[in-house]
Amino acid sequence: MKIELRMGEWMVTMGLVGLYRVFEYGLRKGIIDPQHRQSVSIHPQGLELETEVLPQLPRAYFLYLIDEYSVAKRDGERLRHYLGQAKKENSFSTALSSIKKTITDAGKKIQKYFPDEPVEQLFETLKSVKKPEQLEQLEQCIAEFQQLLSKEAINEKLTLNYFKAAVLKSFFGQVSFLNVSNNNLDLEGHIERFQADYIIPVQYDLQFEHVFRSASTENEVLHFLDEHAEYGPFKALKRAWRKKKLPQMREEMSALYECMLFSGHVAFYNFEEMIFSPIGVSTSNAFNFNWNLQDKQPKPISSLAKLVLFFAPAGAAIYLKKEGFQEQNEYRMYAGFVQSDAAFSEILQKNNHLKQMKQQKDPFDRIVSKLVQSVTKEANYVVDHLFFLEFSSDYDSKKTHLHYYHLPLYLARYFVEYPGKLDYVHYDYREQFIQDVLRGVDPARVIYQYLRDCIENGRSHIGPYIAVRERSRIIQLKRGGKEMEKTDKRVYALYRCGQEIRKALEQAGSPKTADHYSASPSKKIIAIAYRLLNAAKAGDRKSFLDTLFRLHMSADQPISPLFLNALHERDLDFPAVANAFIAGLLSQGGQGEQEEVVS
């Protein structure tokens, strides 16, 4: 039987992308029989699925995830990286600690599930390594450990535990094999549970739909329900329908049992947190979704939709993301996805691209820029409907961080016309900058943080200037994109003013007197930069200009009329004026570096 799976909400499209990836992987690795080569085909609106292939999908699903999140591969790469550091004598000690921690953590897990493996002996050898002269012994330990970790049974067990806890837990509650009572299942046990909980319900429901559509009397329907009485939903349905006629059954079916994600399919389940944790709500708490007092099925979905949603983790790009600045930061596991109104094949291609770039740890602005390049050749309508989505969810704490990044036309134009211009901005601030811009938030707050970081930690000062200039370009594009070159020149002129003042202060030096302490020029500049930055953050134009005038007077420098924009904001807004000047005041870069980045 062939069924059509149409795209819809992002989680459905994500599931379809995952299903197709798993199917492709299964065919490529020989897990799915070649006779089913045409069983999943791409259509403009989604996928067409031949149901005979369904029993082969669970094995392909687990082997795909084991390959994707292999503990042997991940720990192997990490150990090779640490070993490279250990070869440098000054970083040997730190690298050795990291190597010991990695091997000990994974080794204890191996001991737990495979007590006969020689892990204790490896621990003892590793413990004896303490000096750079023992590098050869350390290399031997790492090689032995990698060999141990690469054993199929060990890698399979540890990887299963990893992706269940780190990846699937972000998507689902304690359903099927994810329930803690099933922690001791091996790979075959997991596959059996997947078959029983996800594949067989789909097969039963599709058979029921066929019988229900073709039945001429109610007895035919009840007879089918009797034959499959062990299936929970059928048992409940038979109890409800035993005294009803066929027309009543059909009326009730269309009113109560139609899937809200795949129309035309019977729905015996609910869209709730255990089915899709990031945006699901438990049935008992879904008061706002009740209609006509039907609290038992507030958001009905079919077993088919439930199965497609279970493939969502394979359709997303999974990555670690740092949130916050400096000490106040936190790493979270995120799932990212690109959605648009384009055909399914293009969405699949874009998400494959996104996943590949995330694996290469490309910065977000470059990812957006590359993805937009092809889209802008199409109609503006499509550009206007492209958006990025990412979420971090934890079922235990019932907490989800969900971000939608909509891409309006002016931003698409920015990414196309100015690709890679943010490369000089420090990675942490660049990511925050782009995310604010995509959310429609003014990224000035990121620039304030960046300038403060430069003052406190002496980072490269070109980065803030680039951030100020790119912010001004985005604002100009939002207003229609006129006078782009003039805006760039104004920002650069303000930046140069800051540099000139710094140069004048440094040349003036500190007055040397025996009786009074006088701070060095660099300390004075830092103090002034703090004062200006505080005024800029508070939006205190008067305080900013007052400090600025005094500064120019003490340095005997003329004041540029561009600073009047701090008051009337005709050509530039106040944050752009203030931040460009402060960036210049902090700048210590040479002229060559400036010329390179000014273009």
pLDDT score of 329 more than 80? no
pLDDT at 203: 95
The span from the CA of 439 to the CA of 437, in Å, is: 5
pLDDT score of 11 more than 80? yes
The span from the CA of 515 to the CA of 518, in Å, is: 10
Backbone φ and ψ of 103, nearest 5°? -70, -40
pLDDT at 340: 84
Helices 10-28/57-68 angle, 10° precision: 90
pLDDT score of 225 more than 70? yes
Confidence band, pLDDT 50/70/90 cuts, at residue 554: confident
Looking at per-residue pLDDT, the higher value among 142 and 296 belongs to 142
192 burial via Cβ count (<10 Å: 0-12, 13-18, 19+): middle
The span from the CA of 552 to the CA of 518, in Å, is: 20
122 Cβ neighbours under 8 A, 6+ residues apart: 103, 107, 141, 144, 145, 148
Closest to 284 (Cα-Cα) out of 302, 298, 305: 298
The span from the CA of 429 to the CA of 144, in Å, is: 41
Angle, CA of 220, 200 and 51, to the nearest 5°: 85
Q: Where are the beta strands (DSSP E) in 208-277?
A: 269-270
The span from the CA of 204 to the CA of 196, in Å, is: 11
Angle, CA of 52, 58 and 59, to the nearest 5°: 105
The span from the CA of 138 to the CA of 103, in Å, is: 12
Token pair of 40 as six digits: 């999943």
Give Dmax (Cα) for the chain: 110
Residue given tokens 């989505």 in the structure block: 389
User: Is the separation of the CB atoms in 351 and 307 below 8 Å?
Assistant: no
pTM, rounded to two decimals: 0.83
* DSSP letter, residue 390: E
User: First vs last Cα of the chain: how many Å apart?
Assistant: 60
pLDDT digits (tens, 9 = 90+) for 377-423: 444 544 556 778 888 988 888 889 888 887 788 888 888 788 778 88
User: Is the separation of the CB atoms in 242 and 249 below 8 Å?
Assistant: no
Mean pLDDT within 181-189: 88
pLDDT at 377: 47
pLDDT score of 67 more than 50? yes
User: Is the separation of the CB atoms in 387 and 350 below 8 Å?
Assistant: no
**Length of the chain measured in residues:** 599
Mean pLDDT within 108-119: 90
Looking at per-residue pLDDT, the higher value among 298 and 178 belongs to 178
User: Is the separation of the CB atoms in 584 and 497 below 8 Å?
Assistant: yes
Backbone φ and ψ of 400, nearest 5°? -135, 135
Q: Give the 3-state secondary structure of residue 571.
A: coil
- Residue 63 half-sphere exposure, CB side, CA atoms within 13 Å? 18
Closest to 15 (Cα-Cα) out of 182, 172, 132: 172
The span from the CA of 268 to the CA of 169, in Å, is: 23
Query: In Å, how far are 217, 238, 261 from 213, measured between CA atoms?
Result: 11, 17, 20
User: Is the separation of the CB atoms in 326 and 28 below 8 Å?
Assistant: no
pLDDT at 381: 46
Closest to 437 (Cα-Cα) out of 388, 487, 467, 474: 474
pLDDT digits (tens, 9 = 90+) for 495-549: 999 988 888 888 876 555 555 656 677 788 889 999 999 999 999 999 999 999 9
pLDDT score of 458 more than 80? no
Q: How much is the mean pLDDT over the chain?
A: 86
Looking at per-residue pLDDT, the higher value among 6 and 420 belongs to 6
Token pair of 385 as six digits: 């409907």
Looking at per-residue pLDDT, the higher value among 457 and 200 belongs to 200
The span from the CA of 414 to the CA of 416, in Å, is: 5
The span from the CA of 460 to the CA of 331, in Å, is: 24
The span from the CA of 522 to the CA of 526, in Å, is: 6
pLDDT at 512: 56
The span from the CA of 569 to the CA of 494, in Å, is: 14
Confidence band, pLDDT 50/70/90 cuts, at residue 589: low
pLDDT above 70 covers a percentage of the chain that reads 90
Question: Domain-by-domain residue ranges, the chain?
Answer: 2-67+171-309, 70-164, 316-418, 442-510+518-597
pLDDT at 382: 47
Dihedral sign for Cα atoms in the order 404, 406, 407, 410:
negative
Strand partners, 47: 5, 42
